[in-house]
Structures are given as structure tokens and as C-alpha cells.
Amino acid sequence: DGGITQSPKYLFRKEGQNVTLSCEQNLNHDAMYWYRQDPGQGLRLIYYSQIVNDFQKGDIAEGYSVSREKKESFPLTVTSAQKNPTAFYLCASSIAADGHEKLFFGSGTQLSVL
């Protein structure tokens, strides 16, 4: 369904812990994105990657890190520096990162703090 897979579906983080969210796509898309969704806040961009081995900060990158070692994969690490990590995280991909292409979303990961 959509060719983009996120795991796990639910994740719990202890204080001071780093956690990593997985995102894999088999659509052969160059661009990948991470969005954070909070109730009533829409979708806010954390990081995006236009091509392998390259990524840029979005609007709310503080406390997060990413890597893009393979075209298919764009994992997101929520670090202990992110003081309010509880949210629904959506990964997306598009053919190119020109802002005019259809985004294909994963099914999301709900992160909660213990």
C-alpha cells in the first residue's frame, strides 16, 4: 500500500533515551521527508533529503537527526535533546524534492514518553 513502510507503529521513549524510527520505500523516489503531526497543528517538516548522502533541516529540526545512506531508507532519530517528543511521526517520499510532486506517506509511528 503506497510502497513506503514505517516501523514500529508504536514506540515508547524513556527520559534521556535516543530512539530511532524506520522508514523504507520501494518506489525508487529520490526525495524523502519526515513530518511531525500534533493535534490541531498540521504537518510540520523535520528533515528532508533530496538525494542519497544529502539532507537538510526543515522547520523543527532541533532534537532530531537523520541519515540517508541508501536511497530506500531515511531513518529518524529522536534524541534526548528533544524535550517534547510525544507526537505522530509521518515519513513521506516523492519522485523529486521540488515541492511540486505528490507526497506518498507511510502509515506513521506514534511516539510516547514513559
Give the residues lining the site for another protein (CB under 8 A).
2, 33, 40-45, 48, 50, 56, 58-59, 90, 97-100, 102-103, 105-108
Tell me, letter by letter, the H, E, C secondary structure of the chain.
CCCEEEECCEEEECCCCCEEEEEEECCCCCEEEEEEECCCCCEEEEEEEEECCEEEECCCCCCEEECCCECCECCEEECCCCCCCCEEEEEEEECCCCCCCCCEECCCEEEEEC
C-beta of 51 vs 81, nearer to another protein: 51
C-beta of 65 vs 105, nearer to another protein: 105
C-beta of 66 vs 90, nearer to another protein: 90
Q: How far is the CB of 14 from another protein (least distance, A)?
A: 26
Q: How far is the CB of 110 from another protein (least distance, A)?
A: 10
